[in-house]
Every structure is written in structure tokens, then in C-alpha cells.
Structure 1
Amino acid sequence: MHTQLGRTGLRVSRLAFGTVNFGGRVEEDEALDLMDHALDRGINLLDTANTYGWRVYKGHTEEVIGRWLDKEPGRRDRVVLATKVGDPMGDGLNDGGLSARNIVAACEASLRRLGTDWIDLYQMHHIDRSTPWDEVWQAMDLLVTQGKVRYVGSSNFAGWDIASAQAAAQRRNTLGLVSEQCVYNLVSRYAELEVIPAARAHGLGLLVWSPLHGGLLGGVLAKQRTGTAVKSAQGRAAQALQERYDTVHAYERLCAEHGLDPAVVGMAWTLSRPGVTSAVIGPRTRAHLDGALRALEQPLPESLTSRLDELFPPVGRGGPAPDCWLS
């Protein structure tokens, strides 16, 4: 249920509670109940971003989390709180990116919204190649020294971005990145080429977002037949379904043959992959959350995983680049 975050001594749950659906899809009373339910079941890693809640207004989700943390004495100490910086919070020239000015200002604003004195994992939401690493690390080191941030992570970085960030941190004799958060699932296996190898080589924990590819791997066809498809009926899941209908149909049939929920299979596959620390889930109901927890209960049989590789083959010959491209 819990493991260490990369090369650090910090212990986190193998499922991270993602909050991207708060505000617009999950109302505040439902969000508070879901966070209670997650914490009661051992999920201690809570992932958000300063821009989340944009359907209401940017920063809304951090405020909801702050009110939840304040409801019970000692709750903050039980949670590993992760948020992100980098996406624009306003229309100003310096309201986004990874300049020292924005990193420090955004952190202080997040702390106010969250109602806490520190952020456990402060993640750069996207790479900002217009800002030199020495400037980024100067700002992050300041926040760590001040006690406002415990660890620094990345999100949506390329493999060479991770290597560049770590090289710059080593020059400053600091810890550098401790985690990378990337998209990875049966449908999107590009992270296997360079991101996952880079993360493992540099001792980073890997947090996986969209482990069910926006609901595509969560039994979308069965949900469409019953009229219960919500997230899987829109966005990249809907587009991917048009392109992969026959594959998804075969996937759901395969899961049924093994008596398993497609959502459980997709989640369990991701969690079983080498280097993966946690899967970030964005449940809208208690049932969604409990279903994700079932993915931790038993490993998938080899007869199933081999068929999954046939249905959703890795890129090229499989494995990391450049070997995967060699004939």
C-alpha cells in the first residue's frame, strides 16, 4: 500500500489522490467526503496544482483542500501534500513559468490557499526552457531553506529535461528532483522510451497521471451501453475510442474472460510496471476510489499480461530508446 518516493525516505501511498476534478465535476461537499474516504483507506499522497479548479476559478481546488485540512487537528501531519507551479495563474507577463519571481510568489500564494506552512512535494507543472536551471534551483533552494518546501518534483518533463535538471542540482550540491509525474498507461507507453529510464537512473519516483487514459480503459463500451459514461465520453478518451474501437472491445472482452473489471486491470497493469511509485487517480465517487484500491490487492496473471502486450504493444521493439528502434 505504501512505498518510498524514489531515493528519498518519504513514504507515500501507491495510489495518489488527484484533485483535478474538484470544482465543476466534483462539488466541495463531495470532495471533502472523498478525501476523508481516501485518507481512511491509507491514501496519504494528495496531488493538486495551483491552477486546478479553473472551471470555477484558478486556485479554487487548493482552497477546498485547505478547508479540509483545517477540519481536523493533526490531519496535515498525516498527508503528503503535493502541488504544482508553472502554468499561468493570470494574464500578467510574469504570472506563469519557472522564473525565480514566479516560483517564490506562486509558492507563497499556494501556502495561503492551502492554509499550511509547508508543501511536501512542489512540482514544476511543465518544463520552461526559457529559464536557466541555476535560476530555477536558486528559487527552489530558497523555499527549501525557508522550510516552505520539503522536496521538489517535475511533471511532464522529457527524459533529457530530467537529466539537465539533475546535473544543475548536482553542481549546487542539492538534492534536486525526487519525482516525475507523467502520463503512462496501456494506450500511451511513450514514457518507456526515455522518461522512465531517466527517472530510474536519477533515483526519481514516478507518479503516473491518467492511468486509465481518461477513462478509455475503464470499461467505456459497457458504460456507453448503460448510459453511465461521463469522462470517457469526452476529450482524448473519446477520440482514442474512435481510433481504437476494435482494440478496446477486445480488451473489455479479455477482462470479462478473467472475471475482472477493466478499470482494475488497467490500473493494476500500470502499478506493476518497473519504476512506477504511484498512480494518480481522480475519483468522482467513493465507488471509483474503492475500485482503484482493488488494483492493489492481487497481481495480474501472466496469461492476461501477455495478451495485454499483444493488444497494446510497446513502441518499437519495446524497452528504452535507442534499443527499441534497432532492428
Structure 2
Amino acid sequence: MRYRRLGKTALKVSELCLGTMNFGPRTPEKESHEILDQAVELGINFIDTANQYGGHLGVGATETILGKWLSAKSGRRDNLVLATKVYEPMSSDINDRGLSARHIQKACDASLKRLQVDHIDLYQFHHIDRKAPPEEIWQATDRLIAQGKITYVGSSNFPGWKIAQMNEKAAVRNRLGLISEQSLYNLIERRAELEVIPAALEYGLSVISWSPLAGGLLSLDSGEDGGRRRSDAIRTAREARQDQLTRFSQVCAEIGEAPSAVALAWTLHQAGIAATIIGPSNKEQLTSIAHVPDIVLNADILLKIDTIFPPCGSAPEAYAW
């Protein structure tokens, strides 16, 4: 496993970040724990979750499963960089959502309880809350940091302008600000290159890519284990991009790697990326991509991939002079 600095901090995280969204809704607790054991054995030290994850089991279920694993072995928590998120509705209560100072404090305490830990390494805003002033948000996180409940703050699904605004406000307060942005980024969805990644680079954030396989579209996964609707959606999307995906498969065959492995490795070759999130639903899937950090895509291969999946460029050059 290889490790990279997370943003402007001295903290180092594994290039593969274990996403846990499948834990509970798709992967039973016992198998989820086995995947976590295997991830640690492979050298993965970065685990990402969210307070809302749980699907049909209910919000918080995934954090609870993760918490049981963390507490099962003394010292297990100490070697991990643990990340979770806040924003999504946690109940029908009108105030049990968003980024109000009240909700941030309450949600953090609830996550700590479910995770059975005394602190969260990376506390991420799951989405922007246009009604919450940056000053209110930073006030809440300053308090949590002072209380020792969180160490760093990151964002997820933020546009470039919001990354800039939040970090400018943090600078006025002499605070570190956002250190990472977890963004949708893969070969098919490259719009983060327009403004999100440039903003992250300018303000010293690392980008953590989520859905690097475009929901399974860039892998050999049929999506059938995710339900008929997901399988049908992937099949339809593949039919629409048949030529692209065929050409991509040919490039992958040229270097002797599976499309899923190459798609993941590609994200790690892009500027500003600290880690890419993998979301295996079983141990076999994790084993098949464990070697991704060791894959080197040379300039010729990267150019071929860019020809198949054209880059977006940077703003405003991508759409103005």
C-alpha cells in the first residue's frame, strides 16, 4: 500500500480509502467485519462512512456496524484515519439535518456513540447548506475541535466557489479550514476538473474521489447484487457508451489489467487526488483491486484513455476565453 498526505496537513492516508456504504444494506455485518479485517491486512488505514448510511436498516446502521468492529479489538482504532459525514436528515425533526451549529454538535455526538470512539479524524460536510452561514459552521467545528471530538474538517460534494468561501472565512479566523473535498470523479464524470479540483489545489485541499467506477459502469460488475433496478440502469448506460467502453477494455487488455483496476488507478494519476474510495461488497472484490496502487499508467496509456474519455479542462478556459 502507498500513502499520501491529506491536503496541507502532515497526516498520511492510504491511496485506497475503504468506503462502507454497502455495510448493512448490501453486506451483512459479519462479512463487513471480514472486509475490514482484510483491508487492514492490506495496509488500508483510511475508512470512510457517513451518519446517514444504512439504507433499509435505517440511518446510522453502517456507523453502528463499524463501531462494533472498532471496539472488538483493543488498539484497533489507533492506527486508522476515521472519516464520517454530517448533513443528511437523521429523523423527521426539522432541525435534525443540515449544517446548523446545533445539528453539527448533536450529529457528531451521535456518530461518536455509534462508532464507539472518542474522536473522529476527518469530519466532513456531506453537502453544502446554503442557509447556514460559514461563520456558524466554523463556530460549531471550532467547538468540536476544542472538545477533542474531531481533528480535521473536510467537505463533500462542494462546488469550487464554496471551497473558496469556506477557506477564506477560516483564514480570517486563523483556522486551518477544509483539508479535503470528497468529490464525484471518474473517467465518465470529469466535471470536477473544471473548478472543484483547481479550487482544491489552490487552497491546499486533497481530493478524495467517490464512485471512481461510475457505479459499476467502468467495472466488470453487472450490478445484479445491487438489485434489478441497478442492474437495468447499468445495462442501459453501457449500451449508450458501448463504443467507449469497448475501446477502454482494449486499452486495459493491452496492459493486462481489468477495467475496474485501471479506472481506479487512473484517479490516482490525477492532480490533487489523495485517495480513491473503494466500496467492495465482498472480500473477493477487495482482493481483486488490492494491487491498484502499484499500477503505473505511462503517458501513452493516459493519452489513450483521455482520447476515449476526454478531459473537461479547467474553468473558465473550458467554456470561455
Q: State the TM-score, normalizing by the size of structure 2.
A: 0.95
| SS of residue paired to 1:152 | strand
Partner of 2:319: 325
Structure 1 Cα separation of the partners of residues 307 and 202 of structure 2: 28
Partner of 2:121: 120
| SS of residue paired to 2:293 | coil
- Give the conservation status (yes or no) of the 8 Å contact 1:214–1:231: no
Q: Deviations over 1:194-217 (max 9, x none)?
A: 000001110011111011111111
Question: Could you tell which deviates more after superposition, 250-259 or 30-39?
Answer: 250-259
Residue identity in the other structure for 2:216: G
Question: Could you tell which deviates more after superposition, 136-145 or 305-314?
Answer: 305-314
Partner of 1:275: 272
Distance 1:244 1:66, change over 3 A: same
Partner of 1:154: 155
Pairing 1:83-102 to 2, within 5 Å after superposition: 83-102=84-103
- Give the conservation status (yes or no) of the 8 Å contact 2:155–2:182: yes
Partner of 2:291: 294
- Give the conservation status (yes or no) of the 8 Å contact 2:124–2:155: yes
Distance 1:114 1:85, change over 3 A: same
Question: Could you tell which deviates more after superposition, 211-220 or 151-160?
Answer: 211-220
| SS of residue paired to 2:318 | helix
**Paired positions, count:** 318
Residue identity in the other structure for 1:202: Y
Cα deviation for residue 55 of structure 1 reads 2.1
- Give the conservation status (yes or no) of the 8 Å contact 1:263–1:291: no
Structure 2 Cα separation of the partners of residues 45 and 236 of structure 1: 30
Q: Deviations over 1:90-144 (max 9, x none)?
A: 1111010000010000000000001110000000000001110000000010000
Partner of 2:145: 144
Pairing 1:1-327 to 2, within 5 Å after superposition: 1-220=2-221, 229-231=224-226, 233-234=230-231, 237-315=234-312, 319-326=313-320
- Give the conservation status (yes or no) of the 8 Å contact 2:156–2:182: yes
Which segments of 5 or more consecutive residues in structure 1 lack a partner in the other structure? none
Cα deviation for residue 285 of structure 1 reads 1.8
Q: State the TM-score, normalizing by the size of structure 1.
A: 0.93
Which segments of 5 or more consecutive residues in structure 2 lack a partner in the other structure? none
| SS of residue paired to 2:17 | strand
Cα deviation for residue 238 of structure 1 reads 4.2
Question: Could you tell which deviates more after superposition, 286-295 or 174-183?
Answer: 286-295
Distance 1:127 1:61, change over 3 A: same
- Give the conservation status (yes or no) of the 8 Å contact 1:66–1:114: yes
Q: Deviations over 1:131-189 (max 9, x none)?
A: 10000000010000000000000000000000000011111111111110001011000
